[in-house]
Structures are given as C-alpha cells and as structure tokens.
Amino acid sequence: MNAIDFSSLLPRLWKRNHTNIQLKMSMPGAEIPVLEKMIADGTMDCITKFEVEWLDRDNPHLRATRIYIQLMFDNRGFDTLYYTRLQDARRVFEVNGQFKDVTKHYNWRTIDEADSFAHYRQRPEEAEMLKRTFRRKVKF
C-alpha cells in the first residue's frame, strides 16, 4: 500500500511567515494513528484549525487513545469550537444552504451518532509560541 507520511509533508507546506494551515481530517480508521504521530513529532503545532471526523467514537478499543488525543488538542493550545454531524451538513447543502446554517453542537454528548466532526481552533497566543518552537525543530 502506498501512502504519504503526512507529518513530513506538513513542514514543506508551512512557511516561516505565518502560513495558516486548516486541516480537515476524514480518514475512517486512520485519523487516530495520524494524529498520534503528529503529536509525537510536533507537526500538530503548525496547524491553525482542525476539523476532525471522529468515526470511531463508539469503538471501545480506540476510546482511550481518542480521549488522549482530544486532551492533547487542549494541551497544545486548541479550543473546541463546536461539533457538527455529517447528516446535518448534508441536509443543508442539499438545499443549497451554507455551512453557517449547519447545526452546531457545543456538547459532544448531545450527538448520538458516530459521524461527527469536531472543530478545533488554535488559541492565538499559543499559536505564536508553538510556531516559534516548531521553527527551531524543523530545517527548511
């Protein structure tokens, strides 16, 4: 199977002068290993905004790791903005609506289905500090 090492690709996309990278992650079964690697090698720090589709929410084997990753989002300077459901987004876009019209949930426990997106944004004060640290680690 051919694959891209996402963590090695990100530093090439990221520029020294405040490039903002928004990452939408929808990789059924692969989001957890990719995010674990991004945490371990520090490439998570060059992302400004994440949208992660948690398809494994009901998987008891991955629950502890997913919770760890969600805690690391907070630890690495990200706030959870809200959660959206794939079904809600489809309904809005079927009637030519816009993303602002998609129902936003502020408590993940209110979403009973596994197809949910978590929307994270890096806190501005954390972003600058982490990017300075990231610049020292990565050779351009």
Detail the DSSP E strand segments found in the chain.
22-25, 49-54, 78-85, 116-122
Interval 80-101: pLDDT, tens: 888 888 889 899 999 999 989 9
Domain assignment of residue 140, yes or no: no
Q: How many domains does the chain have?
A: 1
Domain assignment of residue 81, yes or no: yes
Tokens 């949208």 -> residue? 51
Domain assignment of residue 129, yes or no: yes
pLDDT under 70: residue ranges of the chain: 1-3, 14-19, 56-58, 112-114, 125-140
Query: Do residues 111 and 85 touch, judged by C-beta distance below 8 A?
Result: yes
Domain assignment of residue 1, yes or no: no
* Domain encompassing residue 111: 6-135
